[in-house]
Amino acid sequence: MRFLPCGDRAVLVECDSQSAVLGLHGALAASRPPGIIELVPAARTVLVVVEPRVIALETTRTWIERAAEGGTPERRAGAGSPVVVIDTVYDGDDLAPLADILGVSAREIVERHTTAEWDVAFSGFAPGFAYLVSADWPFDVPRLDSPRTRVPRGSVALAADFSGVYPRESPGGWQLIGRTDAELWNDTADPPALLVPGGRVRFREVAP
């Protein structure tokens, strides 16, 4: 873990792995003092935004170090949060080709995907798009050689060790394994994103 410069209102912490980010984000969320405005996890970093009139950056760094020393279990961030269940039809265009690439059956991919408990590691790419990771997921999934210019809204997809759901129609290079009617982003909701960092997710197979 190391600290990187980030202006006078934030501290950027770089971690060695995605699991370390999950643990640190969870530890910080569980011990958040006054003056911490926002915690923003990413693939290898956690951005801590502060109100300097309430908490100084040096004090913030000390708090982060103490939280990290207290242990960073991967699932601590979402330990007390409810599991969001996403009903999914597994009929994606890439499911069968991906099974051939991985040397398994399409049914095994579906079963692995639905039995895994997924953590929302961070958000990005588009409003409502959550990068999901799971210690139960065994596959490293290659992205498409040529990204699609149009991925339908609600597509359930895989890339590397991530899973995700496209919240709106957009280009994309992830492998499509299914689809859902779940609303991932709603401007009038609080929060507007269905899946937020630190949350937990399970996929449930349903018939078309």
pLDDT digits (tens, 9 = 90+) for 4-23: 989 999 999 999 988 899 89
Joined together, the tokens standing for residue 77 give 């961030």
- The alpha helices in the chain, defined as continuous H runs, are 18-30, 57-69, 95-102, 106-115
Amino acid at 126: A
Residue 169 has pLDDT above 90, yes or no: yes
Give the separation between CA 198 and CA 25, rounded to whole angstroms: 8
Task: Let me know how many helices (H) and strands (E) the chain has, helices first.
Answer: 4, 13
What integer pLDDT is reported at residue 191 of this predicted model?
87
Joined together, the tokens standing for residue 55 give 């908490």
Torsion of CA 64, 67, 71, 75, to 10 degrees: -90
Joined together, the tokens standing for residue 10 give 């934030």
Matching residue, tokens 């394994």: 177
Torsion of CA 166, 169, 172, 177, to 10 degrees: 50
Select from 61, 142, 45 the least CA-distant residue to 100. Answer: 142
| Mean pLDDT computed over every residue of the chain | 92
- Radius of gyration in angstroms for the set of CA atoms belonging to the chain, rounded to a whole number: 18
What integer pLDDT is reported at residue 80 of this predicted model?
58
Express each pLDDT in 121-155 by its tens digit: 999 888 999 999 999 999 999 999 999 999 999 99
Which stretch of 7-11, 81-85, 171-175 has the lowest confidence by average pLDDT? 81-85
